[in-house]
A and B are shown apart, each in its own frame.
Chain A
Amino acid sequence: MPEVSIYEDLSLVRRRANTVFWVISALIFLALSFYWKVQIVDHKKFSGLAEANRIRQRALAAPRGLIFDRTGKILADNGASFKVSFIRENVEDMEGSLVKVGRLLEIDVETLRSRIEQYKDLQPFEPIVVEDGLSSRDVAPIESRLLEFRELVVDVEPRRLYPNGTLAAHVLGYLQERTPDELRAEPDRAARVGEMVGKTGVERQYDDILTGEDGKIIEVVDSLGRVVREENARQNPVQGGSVVLTLDHRLQARAEKALEGREGVIIALDPRSGEILALASFPTFDPNRFITRFTPTEWRDLMSDPLSPLENRAIRGLYAPGSIFKLVMSLGGLEFGFVTPDTSVFCSGSTQIYGAIRHCWYEPGHGSMNLADAIKNSCNIYFYTLGRRMGIDMIDKAAGLLGLGEITGVDLAGEKEGLVPSSEWKTRTLKTPWYPGETISVAIGQGQLQVTPLQIAALTAIIAKRGQRKPPHLFLSAPAGGKGGVSADEDGKPPFKLSAFESVIAGMWRSVNDGGTGKGAFVEGLDVCGKTGSTQVVSRESAERLSRAGREIKTHSWFSGFAPRDNPRIVVTVLVEYGGGGGATAAPVAGRIFELFKDIQEK
């Protein structure tokens, strides 16, 4: 059976088909070699990519270190903060669930719905926080019924808690969430979203010690980010180290109580070491509010409050020192030989200096007085005379030796340095020469002089220790390690001779114990020494005009003193804004602090 006769000649198309098959075979071989490259040659790279795809790290927040006062009382603690989240995926009947959940959490259904709808772009398995910042007591009834509510999960995170509310708020400071800018600034740091960081006070100063080490969980996730399972590799968070402060909560509480309702500052410190025992600034705030988040109105009110409660007046409030400055004048006058303890000046109630009539605060006049009398009575005429003799630059020198015009170096951020004017300063900044008449205002602590209450407390401590300088500080110890406090230029040469200190202290003792302006601070058996001050807030001319009009002139009220006279153990500085005369307002407040200190010491 000859094939040709039956079958047509198909050799041409068959050849073509064959060629096409060879082309296809070549392509298959090409594909295969590419698979070999991806699967064998580049296997490691793609393996790593596949791992990275499915592994996710989640940070576990570390609790911050505790802050104690010197007696061991906790000033800053960690509470557990519970949050309740809603998982849409686990809901069958949305409406019914919203009603039930709303009843359980005591949230209005519409609020709940809008909160959930805010996050409707999230994957349905992702929890949406519907209630935040709950205490363990709030969450107990919710947790007990969690089995009925598959759509709810309760998470717990450590959260800063200030158990005493506003107590020592300005010392402790507050926390805020690390901002995106701060996160960018430290790219190496493993930061966690929502991490709180110290913004002011001790929380900021010792943030490095207080911040713990976050832990982490490694989770296997699917392409939508849903957690499939948790790996065993769990690294637990490490709590931050605690910090013990020099504060004594009893003195601190007393100081805050004494200030309540008035703007002002009370500082108590130990002159032997510079340890600050109490530092109160009023008005104050509750640092807990920074943790639980403000409502917008609360925040606006706080920021626009004319009394600026967030400001720590002890280190950032600038005031004229008033008659407190007479201590500086006295020490300078004695040291530089412008007066001796026995130099006497006659006060007739007023005097004429550089062609202007100047008044003493005591109109009848104090009569003839030596230096100690002048300090006791806070006589203006005496110090006008001394000021004229010294001149502004010697005054500036004396103030500088006592630490005015520069920061004390306390371990709190944002301290201000104040201002001590000098002829050089005036020509430099105001481009006009110094007029001798201006010296007279400075001599009684007015004029351009500006000090912080902490500078006055530090100055008083130098006097109390007869020239020994112990910079004020808040850091006592960090049990788990970590450095703090201030570096003291210890046992430097006393800036003034001992006799000068003794003369000034004699005046300060008489001010309190011998019927002087500071008698309000008298405490039986404690030998308090101190000096009052009343600072004119308005200019001299308008003050006189107001007094003629029969208006009450409000002045800032100062007292700064120490006790006991020999081997002093405490310095107390009080400033009450618009408090009136220093003797009438500040001295009695200081007396209450001295009293409590005495009680504590005797116990």
Chain B
Amino acid sequence: MSNEKTLGEVLRQQGITRRGFLKFCAATASLMALPPAMVPRIAAALENARRPSVIWLSFQECTGCTESLTRSHSPTIEGLIFNAISLDYHHTLQAAAGTHAELAREKAMEENYGNYILVVDGSIPTGNMGFSTIAGISNREMLEEVAKGAAAIVSVGSCAAFGGIPHASPNPTGAVAVTDIIKDKPIINVPGCPPIPVVISGVLAHFLTFGSIPELDALGRPLAFYGKSIHDRCYRRPFYDKGLFAETFDDEGAKLGWCLYKLGCKGPTTYNACATTKWNEGTSFPIESGHPCLGCSEPDFWDGGGFYKAISMPTGDIARTAVYAIGAGAAAGVALGAVNRARKARAVKAHQKVTIDDLEKDS
């Protein structure tokens, strides 16, 4: 591991010309959601940037965040950035295991104490420490130890940023976010389930380029990516303004690409870059595929009351029936299933379209 070389030197060693470097900078500016006019400044900063050491800790997570990053198009600008950082510990990606892996972590910490970037994905259990351990070390203990020497912490994914799915009710492991444990370090939250790969690398690129953390919102998210709601940047927004909504997934409005608000779209309350950056090499994003935004980059999105319930609408008859069912006991619960089954049967008989309630409720 050598952190002595500047990024300019590393790229030149790889035979990358100045033109290639300018192309890299143009794509990096786009990556960081900065205006193209910033390219000369980015070029000057990146030329002299030194490779920071990165330690990546994975706790209670599904590896989706790492998949998002590593399955993105390759070789890539993201790939180049990873050449530009020294990823010294990532227990999913590294070849070493057990004692050797932990030694690599300890060595990276010692050599770069006070200067390395700590990336965390996954939430941290606060109940029984045995719920999640690495090399016999509890998640909380490892986080606290590695955070001490970090220059900054990047919480990648909604689990590390807000507790995410492990934190969802009833939260059996007592899962919490990094910010609930570490209070004395700059922490950048990069939520999403998973986050967009270029957003993860864009944040690392910002640190690499400017040596500082980007401007953050009240939830600790970089404003460059999370400054605008999905709704405000959605190409379907004009339909919302005109009151044109899809009422079901297969009605005429859905086919004409109208607003998905009534189908439960969380775009108005969700801040993320999906509507402009998009997914799969810029192909599309969920709304473009005809599915409402789930709000995965917001705290407690899993407990938001139903993915297919419109955000400011009452939860509907089914929910009210469910409340009565709880009061009346299990027999009424069975009755609720029967009500739904009967409704579906009627719909089939009348050739009605499948409704949101059909999708939401298991009969």
A is bound by B:
no
**B residues lining the A interface (CB < 8 Å):** none
